[in-house]
Amino acid sequence: MARFMFDAPTVIKTKRDGGRLSAETIDWVVRAYTDGDVADEQMSALLMAIFLRGMDPDEIARWTAAMVASGERFDFGDLSRDGKPLALVDKHSTGGVGDKITLTVVPVVIACGGAVPQAAGRGLGHTGGTLDKLEAIRGFTAELPRDRIRRQLCEVGAAIFAAGELAPADRKIYALRDVTGTTESLPLIASSVMSKKIAEGTRALVLDCKVGSGAFLKTEAESRELARTMVDLGTAHGVVTRALLTDMNTPLGASVGNSVEVAEALEVLAGGGPADVVELTLALAAEMLDAAGLDARDPADTLRDGSAMDCFRALIAAQGGDLSVPLPLGTHTETVTADRSGTMGDIDAMAVAMAAWRLGAGRAHPADAVQSGAGVRIHRRPGEPVTAGEAVFTLYTDTAERLGPALAALDGGWSVAGGEFSCRSLVIDRIVP
């Protein structure tokens, strides 16, 4: 009966004209799109209407619940390790530039006694996806059946997997947002993130909500509203949820891409790496452990003693990855040098992101393959001294024709200044229920 009560053009027009979608309408359109009864063109139009007109809190909550209901929902509450129930906790970033933190924080949390079931995604818009990075490792697979996820959580302490049948409506909508200019919508970001996280079976969740030029939402007010919306959604579904607002005006770390970010994560796990990546890893790990009720160990110890690296290697091996095989690196390179001496000024995160995207690290269509070896290395971070003629960026790609557009994207996105540079705080605020 429901299929005859609703139609896509009317739903689109309602939101286009600033109307409110009823709970029944949202349930229908999400289910109908998942089943193929609403076409991509129609959902694209509705997503743009939502992007332009927004949603109220009740609409967002219902849209999220409808996406959770579109597929299965995992429950790992019966699992234990060493005779104790698993302390299930996850983290999610709203999307940044150079954001390889999942690769560093998950093994830290495992080493501290947590268990991380993470349904991860591929690149969306200008941001890199966790799965794109991990799939740069030879043999790594994110396609894990439920019984394997359960076994890995008990034996290894984590599983990072493609969402599969979790929130299949979100999988379709997520891919559509990437190619229709609707990625920066607060309601769509909140519902996308939380539908997967609620469905994946975690008991606690820490959100890394980015603020700045390289974030989907540029202002602190918007990011704060997004964080509050997601914390409220998680709490309403019984997930202990909190968020950190973190700066994303400058790329995180010294690499942006896929394999180059894996290499940097390995440096951090070996006890080195860029200071900002280490700082955010430890801040998020501390929040995750606290949310999960774990306080037995200092996360920083796991980087010093190598236990986090051991956990990462075990996780990668469990999912078929071979870290003994060299990570791929683009065969065509271009170096950008400083034309004057001074202090490295701001590096615009969006400019670097677009350069990496044009090099092949991202996708313009859902079916596109990414180049694992494409990316940007940043040799001088803001505030560091620079000498004229010194390399400040190196670009990598397997397609020589991509270098020109990438250089154009980077042009104007950085500067060398003559005076003092004032660094911003990485963690801006903390949002709790």
Tell me which H or E stretch contains 237: none
Residue 357: strand, helix, or coil: helix
Rounded CA separation 264/262 (Å)? 5
- Cβ–Cβ under 8 Å, residues 315 and 106: yes
Is-catalytic flag, 196?
yes
Catalytic residue among 27, 132, 170, 247: 170
The answer to whether the Cα torsion of 236, 237, 240, 245 is positive or negative is negative
- Cβ–Cβ under 8 Å, residues 376 and 348: no
Catalytic residue among 44, 70, 191, 192: 192
Packing angle, helices 57-69 and 168-180, rounded to 10? 120
Encode 120-138 in three state secondary structure: ECCCECCECCHHHHHCCCC
Is-catalytic flag, 170?
yes
Catalytic residue among 91, 92, 203, 377: 92
Which residue pairs from 217-220 have beta carbons closer than 8 angstroms and sit at least 24 positions apart in sequence? 217/94, 217/184, 217/186, 217/189, 220/245, 220/428
Q: Could you please report the per-residue DSSP string of 71-117? A: SB----TT-EETTEE--BEEEEE---SS--HHHHHHHHHHHTT-BEE
Q: Which tokens belong to 38?
A: 């609403």
Is-catalytic flag, 218?
no
Cross-strand bridge partners of residue 159: 117
Burial 43-52 (b: 16+ CB within 10 A, else e): bbbbbbbbbe
For the chain, percent helix, then strand, then coil, each to nearest 5? Answer: 45, 20, 35
Rounded CA separation 216/253 (Å)? 19
Apex 235 CA angle, 233 and 238, nearest 5 = 115
Is-catalytic flag, 177?
yes
- Cβ–Cβ under 8 Å, residues 73 and 166: yes
Which residues have a catalytic role annotated? 92, 170, 177, 192, 196
